[in-house]
Amino acid sequence: MTALRFALTPGEPAGIGPDLCLLISRNAQALPLIAIASRDLLEQRAAQLGLAISLIPVSPASWPDAPAEAGSLYVWDTPLRNTVRPGQLDKANAAYVLETLTRAGNGCLEGAFAGMITAPVHKGVINEAGIAFSGHTEFLAELTNTQQVVMMLATRGLRVALVTTHLPLKDVAAAITGERLMRVARILNRDLIDKFGIDRPRILVCGLNPHAGEGGHLGREEIEVIEPALEHLRSEGLDLIGPLPADTLFTPKHLEHCDAVLAMYHDQGLPVLKYKGFGAAVNVTLGLPIIRTSVDHGTALDLAATGKIDCGSLEVALETAYQMAAARTKTH
């Protein structure tokens, strides 16, 4: 790899992803950033936003090794399937969205890109096009032949990974097995070392039940599943603290000396993170052989081409991807 170069995918073309690509290009990036997008779409959206952004064509035959200047954006032109109207979904462009992701993912695997940053997609319209699609994470796992991935959200000062993700609450306890917990914790620990440059990660682990089960009086999952799994992992050298009651774990006393929190389910850990870093959080997919970060918000169709959006989450996603790539380069 001759340069730490990054791919940026704009996601749903009728949403705010194209706007974000243009708005962040008003300022120079620290490293070469290439939007894998329709040049026509970006030109149209720039005109609608009243932005004077120079779109610089690049391709695999002409990758840049220096960042674009402020007010300009490298673009690997990827043709749309149909004209885009801001805020109006069109299933004809579903294949375009997946093509941008495929180009970015393959570019990372081939070493052209040190990582990829994704703007939000609209899962529903892709499925309406007759394409089975459950999200970025699953798509990239299949593209990279990855069996297990872990969802982690981060903001400045806090990282939260999840043992289970989008499950109804009634199904969570059954889904938390010793095998699953150990698999997730190993991926989290490995990627904190490999992609974040942390020599010996210290991970706080939430209990499942209130008060972490209170000695079995409020549930036995901690005693029968979580504690044995953590003990086994500690014997492998992982630095794990817990299981701790989630209502007291997320306090400065505990968080001050940890590198990440492992929460048992979605709404146990993410409300705290989003309260701390709303508008400045990033979604990181762990377990992939590539670096992938994403904004932590949706397509916001109603805000497309209005200019009334905040780039905070994309800025943190870029910053995180750059830091991860630098740490990975140093590690290797």
Q: Residue 56 burial by CB count (10 A; 0-12/13-18/19+): exposed, middle or buried?
A: middle
Can you say which residues are annotated as belonging to the binding site for substrate?
136-137, 274, 283, 292
8 A C-beta contact, residue 183 and residue 170: no
In 3D space, the residue among 279, 247, 240, 277 whose CA is nearest the CA of residue 262 turns out to be 240
Q: What is the pLDDT of residue 1?
A: 42
Q: What is the pLDDT of residue 152?
A: 96
Token digits for 265? 């389910």
Q: What is the pLDDT of residue 273?
A: 94
Mark the ranges of the chain whose per-residue pLDDT is less than 50.
Answer: 1-2
Q: What is the pLDDT of residue 135?
A: 85
Can you say which residues are annotated as belonging to the binding site for a divalent metal cation?
166, 211, 266
